Chains A and B, each alone.
Chain A
Amino acid sequence: MSEDVHLSQICMDFGSFRAVNNVEVTIKPGEFFSFLGPSGCGKTTILRLISGFMEPTQGAVKIGGKDMKGIRPNARPTALIFQNLALFPLMPVWENITFGLEVRGVSKEIRRAKAEELLQLVDLHDSADKRISQLSGGQKQRVAIARALAVEPKVMLLDEPLSALDLKLRQHMRAELRAIQKRTGVTFIYITHDQGEALAMSDRVGVMSQGVLQQVATPQEIYNNPVNGFVASFVGENNVIAGKVTFVSGGMAQFETAKGSFQAKLGASVATGDSAKLFVRPEFCSLRSANEAKVNSIPVEVTEIAFEGNFVNVFVRDQAGDTHMVQVQNDPSVPPPAPHTTCQMVFNPESCMILSEAATSRHGH
């Protein structure tokens, strides 16, 4: 049912601007793969290259081993779900869903039956004859998914389709999309700038910046072992301290900074003597009383408490005036320290990383 997608050394230029630089990745059959990155990173361009609305300047798009060069969008085994869904407002729901079958000359009775079947699949009953304008945001979403599934694509391409929905519905549709993907077994390629979406839904995530694929890995790997400072700071929150690597032993490094000396895991492409940055997630930091100091600790003063419900963000300021964030579980029996308390911010050497500061850039090659 599904096919793999191989992007082979793809480059895409718009005039002198290189939107996609040397992207090489293989998306496995039946995989839920997300391209994650800020706007302008080239992820939408990649989607348009796969769907056939653009041809790469260099490299090849291969679907199921077959080079797609010169094959127009209407002949590719892909179906695209647009950011604004692009449903046809002048057709009723069922004609929207089966438009792809209509153009293939399928008879009206079969199309009608297929529409009903797909509406069941996306959990939208009794809506076949409704107009698009009568549907809610979430229902339109489902119609768009059904319309794309109707052509039985080998690869489904999704361009931030959830971004227009409100938070609750978005979280619900995440689970829904994931379930539909598992049920149909179609390869899903998902484009998003929302790290939560990418981490929650994907089998693997490709993080992009400035047209370059920075890291391809499972969501856990991306979050816990980012390859560089860009990936670390784009995915999740961090406290960042600049410094220099002075000593390396068994994957752990000694890191000298203006705030003191720290031990941390050594990230990729950093070596002894390099200037780099230490990244530590707020949830891996904790606060201790001032006299309990040990390794990896910074004396700080609590400035602000932000209560988020299931957790609490404690903002602290060190002696150099830099602000850090410590995230603690909400526990009424252990309240967070009050503002103006002086204490130590501490973190485990195993849960922080030294990474090169910048992303691999557009012109890096």
Chain B
Amino acid sequence: MQELIRRYGISLSVIMAAMTAFWLLALVVIPNLVLFKFSFRLYLPVDQLGGPNDVYTLKNYFTFFNSPIHINVFFLTILYSSMVTIICLIITYPLAYILAKVLKPTDTATFFLVLLIPLWVSEILRSFAWFIILSMQGPLNAILTGIGLIDKPIRWISGFQSVVIGLVYAYILFMLFPIYNAIQALDTNQIEASQDLGASTWRTHWRVIIPHAKPGIASGCVMVFMLCAGSVVVPTTLASTNSRWFTEIIQQWMFEGLDWNVGSAYAFLLLALCILFVSLVMRVLNVRLVDIAK
């Protein structure tokens, strides 16, 4: 804080601190606390508010556990979010390695610019672009039939595959940057030492580079997983008739059912269960939270 004042002067520092505090309190903490309170109250007609039925209860939470369809959607959301995370990891690791250690630094800057430009377009537009690309008469099918790889157009927007494709595209950079940073921080001599001692490329990655990049991989995975599980725009835009995302159920409770109480209970359940899932996976893979924070 003293450093901040020294650098920007007292008035600018106060403005910055106040804006950060406003953002945190008014836009994050208070709305969440309000929703948290909502989640323990019942959705009542106006004339019963404050009456004998207006009590704190866990009933909203039990709504979820008593609904097999919603539990099923929850597990599918976790499953496909994990799948998106793994696909992102498989695509990004080699890319991050090439960007960090193979390309010249001057070329890396160009690559990052090319990777970042799509991020300037809003998520809705990007999802909708995929909707067009993947549609029956869209460019992807046109290209694939054109070069003779397939005979007739594939129905891409079916099941969860279009959602998975859209989510991978939407969040892949959140995987790339932490892994890139981790690999970049690795001393190139370590890679060469491994090779010099006789290790194959594969072995060098497995024993030297991946262990070093593990915190970056973990933080990328956590970020992508949480963003996927909480994403609304991509699943609604690219969903087919037989794919539902857990966030869509929350949205239905809130905006179609107008039951903010059950909706917020579902939202907190999603948050809590995702944190539980992530902690379990981290425990299994022997990654600690402090490693990720680095």
Residues of A within 8 A of B (CB): 51, 53, 72-75, 78-80, 82-84, 86-88, 90-91, 99-100, 102-104, 147-148, 151
| Chain B residues bordering chain A, tally (CB within 8 A) | 17
Among candidates B189, B200, B211, B212, residue contacting A103 with C-beta atoms closer than 8 Å: B200
On whether the beta carbons of A99 and B199 are closer than 8 Å, the reply is yes
Among candidates A53, A86, A88, A151, residue contacting B198 with C-beta atoms closer than 8 Å: A151
On whether the beta carbons of B196 and A80 are closer than 8 Å, the reply is yes
CA distance A90 to B213 in the complex (A): 11
Of A51, A74, A82, most B-chain CB atoms within 10 Å: A74
Q: CB-CB < 8 A to B54: which residues of A?
A: none
Shortest CB distance B7–A (Å)? 34
**B187 closest partner in A (C-beta):** A86
Given A72-B195, A151-B198: A90 in contact with B211 (beta carbons within 8 A)? yes
Q: CB-CB < 8 A to B187: which residues of A?
A: 84, 86
CA distance A90 to B212 in the complex (A): 8
On whether the beta carbons of A73 and B189 are closer than 8 Å, the reply is no
User: Is B194 part of the contact surface with A, judged by Cβ < 8 Å?
Assistant: yes
Residues of B within 8 A of A (CB): 187, 189-190, 192-200, 203, 207-208, 211-212
On whether the beta carbons of B189 and A74 are closer than 8 Å, the reply is no
Q: CB-CB < 8 A to B192: which residues of A?
A: 53, 73, 80, 82, 86
CA distance A78 to B196 in the complex (A): 8
On whether the beta carbons of A84 and B198 are closer than 8 Å, the reply is no
Shortest CB distance B28–A (Å)? 36
Q: CB-CB < 8 A to B199: which residues of A?
A: 74, 99-100, 103
**A51 closest partner in B (C-beta):** B196
Among candidates A74, A83, A84, A104, residue contacting B195 with C-beta atoms closer than 8 Å: A74
Would you give 11 A-B contacts (Cβ < 8 Å), ordered by A?
A: A73-B192, A73-B195, A75-B198, A79-B197, A86-B192, A86-B193, A100-B197, A100-B198, A102-B207, A148-B197, A151-B197
CA distance A82 to B211 in the complex (A): 21
Q: CB-CB < 8 A to A79: which residues of B?
A: 196-197
**A144 closest partner in B (C-beta):** B193
Shortest CB distance B217–A (Å)? 14
On whether the beta carbons of B198 and A80 are closer than 8 Å, the reply is no
CA distance A26 to B203 in the complex (A): 34
Q: CB-CB < 8 A to A102: which residues of B?
A: 207
Q: CB-CB < 8 A to A72: which residues of B?
A: 195
Among candidates B190, B196, B200, B203, residue contacting A88 with C-beta atoms closer than 8 Å: B190
Q: CB-CB < 8 A to A80: which residues of B?
A: 192-193, 196
Of B189, B194, B198, most A-chain CB atoms within 10 Å: B198
**A75 closest partner in B (C-beta):** B198
CA distance A99 to B208 in the complex (A): 10
On whether the beta carbons of B197 and A82 are closer than 8 Å, the reply is no
Q: CB-CB < 8 A to A84: which residues of B?
A: 187, 189
Given A73-B195, A78-B196: A103 in contact with B203 (beta carbons within 8 A)? yes
On whether the beta carbons of B193 and A82 are closer than 8 Å, the reply is yes
**A83 closest partner in B (C-beta):** B189
Q: CB-CB < 8 A to A148: which residues of B?
A: 197
Q: CB-CB < 8 A to A99: which residues of B?
A: 194, 197, 199, 207
Q: CB-CB < 8 A to A147: which residues of B?
A: 197
Shortest CB distance A54–B (Å)? 11
Q: CB-CB < 8 A to A104: which residues of B?
A: 198
Q: CB-CB < 8 A to A103: which residues of B?
A: 197-200, 203
Q: What 6 A-B pairs come out closest when comparing CB atoms? A: A86-B189, A100-B197, A86-B193, A103-B199, A82-B189, A80-B196
Beyond contacts A74-B200, A91-B207: 13 other A-B pairs, Cβ-Cβ < 8 A, are A73-B192, A73-B196, A74-B195, A79-B197, A80-B192, A80-B196, A86-B187, A88-B208, A100-B198, A103-B197, A147-B197, A148-B197, A151-B198
**A103 closest partner in B (C-beta):** B199
CA distance A41 to B187 in the complex (A): 24
Of B187, B193, B207, most A-chain CB atoms within 10 Å: B193
CA distance A73 to B192 in the complex (A): 8
